[in-house]
Amino acid sequence: MLENRWEGIDEFVAVAECNQFTAAAERLGVSSSHISRQVARLEERLQTRLLYRSTRKVTLTEAGQTFLQHCQRLQDGREEALRAVGDLTSEPKGMLRMTCAVAYGERFIVPLVTRFMALYPQLRVDIELTNRPLDLVHEGLDLAIRLGRLQDSRMVASRLAPRRMYLCA
């Protein structure tokens, strides 16, 4: 069975920053015996002593100081990764630049975008209504809503709705 390589790192950092097992346990909301076991297992896996222990205080060994710096960076990276994913699942925000055909945009898209922006006040939308084809990359556009077939095969298209044409005389 593979060991959990992350096991004990949070406990070790807490002990190193608090200089006590008891304070680290309070900080993490676990028992001091749990902290002690996790740090001992971590030292065993690394095959080195990370902490000098006395009855009143804990200090870092040279290996412990080096390991602490790396562990703190790991914790920061982990938190940043969690925030980044959380931001992706949170509500839309920032600027969305889009283009749409004039008549279709005025009739259907602008009312939808207006309601969407009311739901997400941190989102700003810039809509360029034009019937001429635009280079999305060159114009700095995020999205284009067009009628008809996709001309540029490098773009990704999704069908929004069917369209029928009628000839009336």
pTM: 0.53
CATH code at 9-88: 1.10.10.10
For the chain, give me the number of helices (H) and strands (E)? Answer: 7, 5
Structure tokens at 48: 């080195």
| Burial class, 27, CB count within 10 angstroms (exposed 0-12 / middle 13-18 / buried 19+) | middle
**Cα(43)–Cα(13) distance, integer angstroms:** 13
**C-beta of residue 42 within 8 angstroms of C-beta of residue 50:** yes
Q: Where in the chain is the domain with CATH 1.10.10.10?
A: 9-88
State the fold for domain 94-145: D-Maltodextrin-Binding Protein; domain 2 (3.40.190)
**C-beta of residue 96 within 8 angstroms of C-beta of residue 67:** no
pLDDT digits (tens, 9 = 90+) for 92-132: 888 999 999 999 889 989 999 999 999 888 889 999 999 88
pLDDT digits (tens, 9 = 90+) for 124-165: 999 999 988 888 888 888 888 887 777 766 777 788 777 777
